[in-house]
Amino acid sequence: MRQDIDQRKQFTRRALFLAGGQFLLVSGLVTRLYQLQVVDASDYEVLAEENRINVRLLPPLRGLIVDRFGEGMAINRRTYQLVLISEQTDSVPETLERIASLISLSERDVHDVLREVSRRSDFVSVTVREDLSWTDVTKIEVNLPALPGVLIETGQSRFYPYGELAAHLTGYVSAVSEVELTGERLLELPGFRTGKNGVEKVFELDLRGSAGTRHVEVNAYGHEIRELNRIEGDSGDDLRLTVDMGLQAFAARRLGEETGSVAVLDLLNGDVLALVSTPSFDPNAFNYGLSSEVWQGLLNDPRTPLINKPIAGQYPPGSTFKMIVALAALEHGVVTPDEDIYCPGFYELGNHTFGCWRHWGHGHVDMVEAHKVSCDVYFYEIAHRVGVDNIAEMASRFGLGMETGIELTGEESGLIPTKAWKEAVLGEGWLGGETVNAGIGQGHVLATPLQLGVMAARLGNGRVRVKPRLARSAASPAIPLFEPLRVNEEHLEVVRQGMYDVVNNPDGGTAFRARIEDEGMEMAGKTGTAQVRRMTAADREANRSLEEIPWNERDHALFVAYAPLQASRYACAVVVDHGGGGSTAAAPIARDVLREAQRRESVRWPMGEDIGDPLGQDV
């Protein structure tokens, strides 16, 4: 009896424990279900919806780049791409073989497609060829029934109508590099392009625009079923440059096969009217990638087509620097405009002899005459008197030895040496002979063609420190507020008279043959010939012709000018790499370009503006 009672008690306890355990399990399950279905229901609903609906980005249209008159320099055009969906084909290699029988398809193209197919899901499209011609499109369209899984898609691609003529200005776009990836989803879109050079890079964020979105329904395998919603993005802002592409094209044609630069500026407001660098390259070729052979060819070309020479080429300015030396000497009172200095054809300083380009000499010359005939001995002497630091200070007022701030990539600063510079950089003291060399724009002195154009603009303006600008909007001021030049007007008139005689005086003017004869279009300027290696006495005695000297050993030819003489508006600098003499190689180009600029009235602005008297401001 007692045994039966004990067994019943034991059974009851076990039943209670079992029931308690079941109750706890059921309670936990109910609690969890409540958590999932009630408390977290909204969160899981969103996750489920996102698993069913994908949000995909739509790339925006890139903003246009146009010249001052609205001519398209960088535009978007409709393009056709050939794509392939591998799951819809019987055999990808066989399909590619059929395509190759219809349009050009290289072994590299085939290899790239097979690689992409192996990396992606079968239902994802792979690009076979981009930028198809209309002829290629028609060939594919006619044969589409025999090409299952092959589609032609339309899109927008960057195009540069002027090609090489504006390549260094616009720059180009290309595929996004790993360095550029910042986490912005737009940059991760297949085929998205960003600016790599020129204004395409400087104004990248303005030109890029903002992405749109596209909501699509997909199944469990990621297949797109239908589009639910589309929100177009905002196109990038259009960019208007100050360049006159008609003048740009003329200047490039005038340079022809020469290696060199042309810079033309509005000397009142700094608008860059033309900025030419030759040789150039086709920016359209970078859009879809260059072959290694073409890229290496551009890199190894001794004429450096990838370098934007007007802003990145650094040259000894030669005799175009003499106006700066003259102004420094006049300001510090070490010479007067009427003082005669005798030129026997050479200048002696200590144990060194410095020759004049006219080895039999110029005789007695004053400052205006020294400019006209470009007498080296005269400028050796006044440079030695005034000193290199004073010359450097005057050069800085005219924009030399510093970046101009133009809205382009890759600008160099040039170099205007001082005693402190040499001590800090080379660890050596300054020598008197180096000042003499600097007096004719040689030695350590370096300038870019654009800097020389700015110098010419400030000489022609005479009142303010004009700065170049390449981008301009309707809201931009017609005449920006520039810093005052702070150079004595009488001293400037002496130098400008010398520049006038260089071009217009038949009695020894070094550029008289390159003068503008059209009435009212006349120019004032200065020739320059810059040595690329030290001339020895044997070199001078040999007196070889230009054709007998290797191209890379020939002197650079330079010319700076402004026009017209009355109410001057245009400034120009021309550098012909290894062109020989400035009067024969560079001055005729500047003459023709300045005449064309005036004929075209390149300074006109289509939106209309009243500049009034820009030099009437109190500066």
The DSSP symbol for 484 reads B
Task: Establish how many alpha carbons lie within 13 A of residue 84's alpha carbon, considering only the half-sphere containing its beta carbon.
Answer: 29
Whether a cis peptide bond, with omega within 30° of 0, leads into 279 is yes
Instruction: Confirm if 463 and 493 have CB atoms less than 8 A apart.
Output: no
Catalytic residue among 319, 374, 568, 602: 319
* Residue 578: C-alpha distances to residues 260, 510, 526 (Å): 9, 19, 18
Consecutive H or E run containing 230: strand 224-231
What is the residue type of 235?
Answer: S
CB 461 within 8 A of CB 582: no
Provide the sign of the torsion angle of the four alpha carbons 376, 379, 383, 384, taken in this order.
Answer: positive
Alpha-carbon span 371 to 494, nearest angstrom: 10
For this structure, is 125 an active site residue? no
Three-class SS of residue 273? Answer: strand
Q: Which helix (H) or strand (E) holds 254?
A: helix 245-255
Check: CB of residue 578 under 8 Å from CB of residue 601: no
User: How big is the chain, counted in residues?
Assistant: 619
Q: How far apart are CA 321 and CA 560, in angstroms?
A: 10
505-508 contacts at long range (C-beta below 8 A, 24 or more positions apart) = 505/372, 508/369, 508/372, 508/373
Sign of CA dihedral 215, 220, 222, 224: negative
**b/e 78-117 (16+ beta carbons within 10 angstroms → b):** ebbbbbbbbeebeebeebbeebeeebebeeebbeebeebb
- Residue that has been written with the tokens 């503006």 in this structure: 609
Tell how strand 65-66 and strand 239-240 pair up. Answer: parallel
CA 89 to each of CA 83, 102, 111, 385, 615: distance values in angstroms, whole numbers, following the listed order: 12, 17, 17, 84, 73
Structure tokens, 240: 């208007």
**DSSP, res 16:** H
Helix (H, G, I), strand (E, B) or coil at 400: coil
Q: In what order do the strands lie in the sheet with 556-563?
A: 272-278, 260-266, 570-576, 556-563, 524-530
Give the CA angle between residues 151, 157, 162 to the nearest 5°.
140
Q: What is the Cα gyration radius of the chain?
A: 36
Dump strand ranges (E) for 30-106: 53-58, 65-66, 72-85
Three-state SS sequence of 301-316: CCCCCCCCHHHHCCEC
Q: Does residue 345 contact residue 359 with C-beta atoms inside 8 Å?
A: yes
Kindly provide the b/e burial profile for residues 164-192, where b requires at least 16 CB atoms within 10 angstroms of the residue's own CB: bbbbbbbbbbbebeeeeeeeeebeeeeee
User: Which residues are identified as catalytic?
Assistant: 319
